[in-house]
Structure 1
Amino acid sequence: MEIKNPVGWFEIYVDDMDRAQKFYENILQVNLEILADPAKDSEEKIMMRSFPSDMQQYGASGALVYMDGLKAGGNSTLVYFSCEDCSVEEGRIEAAGGKVFKTKMSIGEYGFISLGSDTEGNMFGLHSLK
């Protein structure tokens, strides 16, 4: 049996796409790209901004998503962004409008994590090996 990584994609639901996009671009120092509206032929409004990715590398990519009728925050799924040193990205959270929930802490042999909340009320994690 072939073993595969369990996560193939993630979505972070937002109420204000411009605000959320600016937040994540600021924290992670990346540019998010506009994805085509998958519901363009219906009256439902969906906006998506994808995180940069390389399908040949370990891990999953995903997108910020605005969808009519689906509110941000209050969910129970936590996305961890990979970092060189999570304290660097953690240091950008509050200046970008978010909140630090848990400062950098050791998780033993698995490295370090920081937890924060974005401008939409979504909790997210940062992970690094140093």
Structure 2
Amino acid sequence: MTYNPIVWFEIYVQEMARAKKFYETLLGLTLTQLESPIPGMELWAFPMEQGAPGATGALVKMEGKDSGGGGTLIYFSCADCSIEAAKAAANGGQIFKEKFPIGQYGFIALVYDTEGNMIGLHSMQ
């Protein structure tokens, strides 16, 4: 395999304005609204650049799909994940596990967003 297998992700939310503010503040970026392929579905995409490394995705609000618990964990790249973990806690989220080392692969922190989804934060320092 000569490519990264993850090409898209969706983080399901219950209150879009709250979740959008959380992620924009946490990561210091601006989400862009996408046209929905399904009536009643609202999507706000993370920045995308064709040909750049990494995967992108969107916050999604869809009737009948809960947010929170589940078997998927998405990691966001950070310069220092302890900074973003603190931002999560200051913006309505909650820290599950403070920054800790993962050997030669750097550091991670685990936090909950405002919708009950656990996300990972990764940094090399």
TM-score of the aligned structures, taking structure 2 as reference length: 0.96
**Structure 1 stretches of at least 4 aligned residues deviating more than 3 Å after TM superposition:** none
Tell me which residue corresponds to 2:17: 18
Aligned counterparts of 1:113 and 1:32: Cα–Cα separation in 2: 23
Secondary structure, counterpart of 1:92 in structure 2: helix
Secondary structure, counterpart of 1:89 in structure 2: helix
Greater gyration radius: 1
**Any unmatched runs of 5+ in structure 2?**
none
Shift of 1:56: 2.1
Task: Quote the sequence identity (%).
Answer: 51
Aligned counterparts of 2:19 and 2:82: Cα–Cα separation in 1: 21
Shift of 1:6: 1.4
Shift of 1:85: 1.1
**Any unmatched runs of 5+ in structure 1?**
none
Shift of 1:79: 0.3
Tell me which residue corresponds to 2:104: 109
Secondary structure, counterpart of 1:91 in structure 2: helix
TM-score of the aligned structures, taking structure 1 as reference length: 0.92
Aligned residues: 125
Residue 68 of structure 1: which of 57, 60, 63 is its match?
A: 63
Aligned counterparts of 1:46 and 1:121: Cα–Cα separation in 2: 19
- The Cα offsets for residues 7-30 of structure 1, whole Å up to 9 and x where unpaired, read as 000000000111100100111011
Tell me which residue corresponds to 2:122: 127
Aligned counterparts of 2:49 and 2:13: Cα–Cα separation in 1: 24
Letter of the aligned partner of 1:106 in structure 2?
Answer: P
- After superposition, the CA RMSD in angstroms is 0.9
